[in-house]
Amino acid sequence: MSQQPYPSYPQGSDPYGQGGPLPTAPAVVEPPSTIRRAAMLMVVRAVLGVIGLVLSIATIGTLRTQIRNSQSTLSPSTVNAVVNTSIVVTVVLGIAFAVLYVLLSRKLLQRRNWARIVTIALSSLGVLTLLGTLVQRQTTVGRVTSVVVGLCDLAILVFVLMKPSREYFQQRLG
C-alpha cells in the first residue's frame, strides 16, 4: 500500500465543505471624539479630585475651628476624633473616586455600556453637588475647586450624552 499525502486546501476556504469564507475578526471601531474628550476629562477630573483632597487636608485647621465654635460643649479629644474621622473618610473616598474615574475612562474607550451608565450617574451627581456647593459657606480655594470639578462633571455628562456617543454604544448593542 502506498501512502497518499493529505489533501491540501486553499487558504481562506472552509476545509469541512460548509461553504463560504472563514469568519474574520470584527472591525475595530475608533471611539468618536466626544468619547475621547469625555475620557480625557474624566482623568482630569480624577486629578482635580486628588488636588481637592490635598487642599481639604491642608485646611483641616479651619474645620477644627468650625467644629469648636459650633459645638462648644465638645471636649478637645472629641473634636480631634471628629476631625481625624473626617480626614480618614475624605482620603478613602477621594482616592476611591479618583481610581473609579480613571477606570471608567478606560472602559468608555473600550466601548463598555455599563461604564457609560455609571459615568452618567456619577457626573449627574457631580453637577448636583456643584449646585449645592454654590450655596454653602466655603473657603475661596474650596469653592473654586468645587466649581471647576462640577463644571468638569457637566462637560463629561454633555460629551457622553451627545449623539455620536450614543450611536457609538448603540452600534455595539445592536
Radius of gyration of the chain (CA): 27
Does residue 121 fall inside a structural domain?
Answer: yes
Does residue 19 fall inside a structural domain?
Answer: no
* Residue 173 pLDDT greater than 80, yes or no: no
Binned at pLDDT 50, 70 and 90, residue 67 comes out as confident
* Residue 148 pLDDT greater than 70, yes or no: yes
Across the range 12-39, mean pLDDT stands at 73
Q: CA 147, 148, 151, 152: dihedral to nearest 10 degrees?
A: -150
Does residue 7 fall inside a structural domain?
Answer: no
Per-residue pLDDT at 99: 97
* Residue 110 pLDDT greater than 80, yes or no: yes
Does residue 9 fall inside a structural domain?
Answer: no
In the chain, what percentage of residues exceed pLDDT 90?
47
**Which residues, including other chains, have CB under 8 Å from residue 85's CB and lie 6 or more apart?**
none
H helices present in 11-139, as ranges: 33-58, 60-70, 76-109, 113-133
Does residue 21 fall inside a structural domain?
Answer: no
Per-residue pLDDT at 111: 93
CA distance 113 to 39: 14
Does residue 28 fall inside a structural domain?
Answer: no
Per-residue pLDDT at 55: 84
Does residue 165 fall inside a structural domain?
Answer: yes
* Residue 14 pLDDT greater than 60, yes or no: no
Which domain range does residue 92 map to? 33-169
Per-residue pLDDT at 27: 64
Q: Which range has highest mean pLDDT (24-28, 56-60, 89-93)?
A: 89-93
Does residue 8 fall inside a structural domain?
Answer: no
Q: Cα–chain-centroid distance for residue 66?
A: 32
DSSP for 106-135, please give it: HHHHTT-HHHHHHHHHHHHHHHHHHHHHTT
Query: Number of structural domains, the chain?
Result: 1
